[in-house]
Structure 1
C-alpha cells in the first residue's frame, strides 16, 4: 500500500490537476516508492514524492507528439509511453534521452503498453485498431501480433456467444502476469476488448521459435491465422494457448475497459475485469488454461458497481485489496477475501 509520502503527494497532485486543468492519465512507481512518473497530456513528469506539496518535476520528457494514454516502467529503468498517434516512445531514464520509437504496428490510437517482466527487452502494446503487438524494443521491431479484428478471429469469438455486444474488438487494456505466478506454470497476458470479451494469451508459447510449434507455424507471422489455438474457456482442446472469456460464460455485455491480475491471495490466480456495463468480473482463469485439468475457466464473482468502470487495480493485502475508479466522483475500495 502507498506510504504516507505517496498519500500526501497524490492528494497534492490531484488538487493541482483540478486547479490547472492538468489531466493525469497514470503514475508509476519505480525502484523505491519515493520516485513517481506521471503523464499529463503529451508530457511525462517525474517527482520525488517526499517533497510533498513543495515537489517540483525532477525531469520532464516531451517526446510524444499526441496525448499519452498509458505509461509503464521496466526493471531496467526504461519508460514506455503509448499515445494517440499509435506510437510508443521508449525513454532511457538513466541517460535521460529517447531510446527507441515503436511505430507502424498500430494504425490507430495505442491505448495500452506494458513491459514483460521475465523478458527484460520485451514490451507489449494494444490499440484501437484491435491489435495486440509484442516488441523487442531494443531493436524496435515486432515479434508477433494478434489482430482481433480479423474475420477469422471475429468468427471464432462470436460462435456460441448470443447476447455478446457487437462493438469492435478494440484493445482497451493489457495486463501482464508477474513472473513466477502459480508456481511458475504460466507466463501470460490478459486483454480487455471492446466487444466485451477478455482474452488470456500464453506469451511464452507465442514467443517460442516457430520450429517448436510445428511445421505450420511461420516465424514472425501474425496470430490472426492461429484459430486452432483460440480457446473459449472450456476444455475442448488438448492444448490451450489462449482462452476467451465472454458473455456466454457470464462475462461483460459491453466493452471491457480494464483488466488486472490479483495481487491478493494466491498471486495471479484470479483475473479482475471492469467494463462499460458497470460491472466487475472476477475470473478463475487458470482452470481453463491448463491441459492437465478437466475444469473450465469460471466466473467466481460478479459485482454491480452502478457506473462504467474506467480503471481498477489490486493490492497485496488481506483487506481493501480491490480499488476501482468509475464515472462517479468516488473511488471505490472492495475487500476480496
Structure 2
C-alpha cells in the first residue's frame, strides 16, 4: 500500500466525509472546527471552505438525492441546507431546528422529500424538506439501558475472570438510513430498529444486547502481552445500498458494531420472519398475545441467524469498535464493504463471496485488504474513481485518501 494523499484544511479532528457520485473526485470533509472543506482530487489545492459552525462541530453531511448542488449539514441540534453550484459563492437556503439534542447522523430518502435526523436523546425527527416542516417524530424504538462495566483479570488464571465494577446508562440513536419503505436506526442501546414509517412505530427490533457483549472477548496484542477487548455491541453506524445496486446486492443493511463486528443483515428475511411469526395462530391452552404488546424484540444476536453474515475478528476483522462502514463506489459498485474502527485499521471485505455459489466461502477469503493507520477512524467514504477512491477521516485534522484495487 502506497502512502496516502493528505488533504489539509481543518484545524481540528475530521468527523465525517462525503463523495460525489456524479462528479468523480469531488469530496467534502467536515470537522470539529465547524468547517466544511471541499476538494477536487484531480487538483492540488482545496477548492473552498464553508463556515457552518455557530459554535458547534459538524457531525454529518448528506447530499440531496438527484441534486448534489444541495447539501445538508448537521451541527449541534440544527440542520442547515446549502446551495453550492460548486463555486465559492455558496448560500444557505433553510435551517431546521427540530431536534432537542445533538444530532449524530442525517440521511435523505433517495426518492422522496424526507430527511431523517437521529440525535442523542434517541429520537429520530423526520423532516419534509419540500413542505419545510416536521413530518413525524419516531421514538420508543431506542431506550436508556444499563450495561455492566467488567474488569478482566488476566493474571489469576488462563481463563479471564469477569468482575462487575459498575453500571453506566446510555441513550443514543446514532444512525438513520431509509431503504424504500423502511427507516432503520441503530443506537448505543445495542438495538437496530426497523420502523413502519407510515405508522411511526417499530416494525422489528433486533437486540444485539448483553449476549453479544459477554461473547465478544477479543484477543488483542499490545506491548507483547496478550490483552482482552470486551465491548458492548453498540450500533455506531449503518449503511444501506444505493438504489442503483440494491437489485444486485439485495435489500440489506450493514451495521458497524461496538464489539468489532460488521453485521450484514438481510432485511427481507427479517421482515418475512416477523410476518410469519405474527400470522401464526397461538396454540390451544396458551396465552394469546395482547394487541398492546411492545414490538417484537429479537434477543438473539445476528450470529445465530443464518440469514445474516458477521464479519468479525475470526476472519481477520476488527479487534475493537467499528466506527464507520460503507459500500464501494469504485469498480463494480457494492462489491466491497469498507469498514474502519477504533483499532486504527480499515478493512476491505469482498462480502459478495459469502453469498455467491450458495455460500461456498468459509469466510477466510472475505478480507481482501487491511490498512493500518496511526489514529482511530471517525468516518470513511468511497469515490467512483479508479484511483484515490477511499477517503478516511481519523482523529487527526488531516484527511487521508487511499487507492484500493
CA separation of 1:124 and 1:255: change in aligned 2, threshold 3 A: same
Of 55, 68, 88, which residue of structure 2 is paired with 1:21?
A: 55
Count of residues in Structure 1 that have an aligned counterpart in Structure 2? 321
Q: 2:348 is matched with which residue?
A: 282
Which one of the candidate residues 133, 138, 143 is aligned to 2:193? 133
1:178 partnered with 2:242:
yes
Cα deviation per residue 1:66-122 (whole Å; 9 max; x = unaligned)?
Answer: 000010111201000000000000000111110010101111111111111xx2x32
Pick the structure with more strand per residue.
2
Partner of 2:314: 248
Corresponding position of 1:237:
none
Residues 1-337 of structure 1 correspond to what in structure 2 (within 5 A)? 2=20, 10-11=37-38, 14=49, 16-17=51-52, 21-30=55-64, 31-50=66-85, 52-74=87-109, 75-107=111-143, 108-116=171-179, 119=180, 121-151=181-211, 153-154=212-213, 158=216, 162-163=219-220, 165-179=229-243, 181=245, 184-208=248-272, 210=274, 212=276, 220-225=295-300, 229-230=304-305, 240-289=306-355, 292-297=358-363, 298-337=366-405
Computing the radius of gyration over CA atoms, which structure comes out larger, 1 or 2? 2
Corresponding residue SS for 1:287: helix
Q: CA deviation at 1:21?
A: 3.4
1 or 2, which has the higher helix percentage?
1
The structural deviation recorded for 1:290 is 5.1
Cα 1:89–1:13 change in 2 (3 A) is farther
Q: 1:287 to 1:61 in 2, by over 3 A?
A: same
When the two structures are superposed, what TM-score results if normalisation uses the length of structure 1?
0.85
Distance 1:133 1:317, change over 3 A: same
Alpha-carbon distance between aligned partners in 2 of 1:299 and 1:215, rounded to the nearest angstrom: 40
More moved, 170-179 vs 96-105: 170-179
In structure 1, the gaps of 5 or more residues are 231-239
2:324 match: secondary structure: strand
For 1:289 and 1:6, the matched residues in 2 are separated by 32
What is the CA distance between 1:181 and its match in structure 2? 3.5
Runs of 5+ in structure 2 lacking a partner? 1-18, 30-35, 39-46, 144-170, 221-227, 283-288
Alignment RMSD (CA, Å): 3.0
SS of alignment partner, residue 37 of structure 1: strand
Q: How big is the shift at 1:17? A: 4.7
Judged with a 3 Å threshold, the aligned counterparts in structure 2 of structure 1 residues 315 and 51 are, in CA distance, closer, same or farther, namely: closer
CA–CA distance in structure 2, aligned partners of residues 6 and 295 of structure 1: 35
Q: TM-score, normalised on structure 2?
A: 0.72
Q: CA-to-partner distance for each residue in 1:257-293, whole Å, 9 max, x for gaps?
A: 0011111122111111100110001112222245713
Shift of 1:55: 3.3
